[in-house]
């Protein structure tokens, strides 16, 4: 069984290396046992996301999500490598498996065209799909000298912040896919109607969208500040990992706020070198990423 579990973790590590872009830079800073556990949790979260983002009809996606829900209830019987690794991680760390249920709820929500009505609805959605991931990470990071409920709250807030940054970065891509996560009441208040021009880029002839994106970026910055209160409650390696993962998104947020039009025709990202520099700064504790 030991060999089988080790092979299962190796499979999850390969999935993480291939798919995790920003996440992988942070977990490199962790000691091997925690890194392996987070790879396992990431691999299952990725499986859930891939179902939602795949090309299957909605009914088949729902069936696939239902199978994952069923698998979560019988992890001890798993022979699938990802499930086997998650089961082992859950034995070694206090993994809140219910957080995967929340993630499943969020992905299922996305199977239909999405229109978010107001900020309260947006925060609920972010809590499902990203606050849940923050709490999963915290279960492996661990916290010391603090109220566990408080640390969980900070992890939840950081996840919500990072998901808002994702939404700002992907506003064009989501619109093409029939999903609008920017609150409808706020778009109306700012006089914004999301449309694509003949080149497939977001239209913004009067710069109203740019103004709104700056407003929304400011709110994401506020949530980021709330969530970053988690860092002092982590051990040094986990804190560095957290700062690296969050710091990459924070750099993206700064770029969006400085130049909102940068997301109008492409998916904004940092270069490999920029990500490595954020990770290095996090490891040596330079500044606040």
Residue 134 has a pLDDT of 93
User: How big is the chain by its Cα radius of gyration, in Å?
Assistant: 19
The per-residue pLDDT for range 157-189, each reduced to its tens digit, is 999 999 999 999 999 999 998 999 999 999 999
Calculate helix-pair angle for 81-92, 2-19, nearest 10 degrees: 110
Residue 146 has a pLDDT of 65
Residue 274 has a pLDDT of 87
- CA 225 remoteness from chain centre: 17
Q: What is the dihedral of CA 16, 19, 21, 22, to 10 degrees?
A: -60
Query: Residue 31: what are its φ and ψ, rounded to 5°?
Result: -65, 155
Residue 20 has a pLDDT of 77
- CA 17 remoteness from chain centre: 16
> Is the whole model's pTM more than 0.75, yes or no?
yes
Average pLDDT per 10 consecutive residues for the chain, totaling 289 residues: 82 91 79 96 95 93 96 88 96 95 93 94 94 94 82 94 97 94 98 96 97 98 96 91 92 96 93 83 60
Residue 12 has a pLDDT of 96
SS3 196: strand
The per-residue pLDDT for range 249-272, each reduced to its tens digit, is 999 999 999 999 999 999 998 888
Q: How many whole angstroms separate alpha carbon 165 and alpha carbon 212?
A: 14
| 247 half-sphere exposure, CB direction, 13 A CA radius | 26
């Amino acid at each position: 069984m030991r060999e089988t579990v080790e092979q299962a973790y190796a499979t999850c590590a390969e999935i993480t290396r291939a798919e995790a872009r920003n996440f992988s830079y942070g977990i490199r800073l962790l000691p091997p046992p925690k890194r392996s556990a987070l790879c396992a949790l990431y691999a299952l979260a990725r499986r859930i996301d891939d179902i939602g983002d795949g090309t299957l009809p909605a009914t088949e996606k729902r069936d696939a999500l239902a199978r994952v829900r069923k698998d979560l209830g019988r992890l001890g019987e798993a022979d699938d490598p990802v499930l086997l690794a998650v089961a082992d991680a859950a034995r070694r760390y206090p993994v809140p498996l219910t957080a995967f249920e929340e993630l499943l709820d969020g992905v299922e929500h996305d199977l239909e065209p999405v229109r978010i009505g107001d900020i309260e609805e947006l925060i609920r959605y972010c809590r499902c799909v990203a606050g849940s991931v923050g709490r999963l990470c915290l279960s492996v990071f661990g916290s010391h000298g603090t109220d566990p409920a408080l640390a969980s709250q900070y992890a939840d807030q950081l996840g919500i912040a990072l998901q808002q940054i994702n939404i700002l970065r992907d506003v064009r891509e989501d619109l093409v896919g029939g999903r609008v996560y920017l609150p409808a009441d706020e778009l109306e208040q700012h006089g914004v109607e999301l449309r694509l021009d003949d080149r497939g880029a977001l239209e913004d002839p009067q710069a109203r969208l740019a103004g709104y994106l700056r407003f929304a970026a400011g709110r994401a910055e506020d949530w980021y500040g709330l969530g970053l209160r988690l860092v002092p409650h982590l051990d040094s390696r986990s804190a560095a990992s957290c700062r690296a993962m969050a710091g990459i998104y924070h750099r993206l947020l700064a770029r969006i706020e400085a130049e909102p039009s940068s997301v109008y025709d492409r998916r904004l990202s940092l270069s490999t070198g920029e990500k490595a520099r954020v990770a290095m700064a996090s490891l040596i504790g330079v500044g606040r990423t």
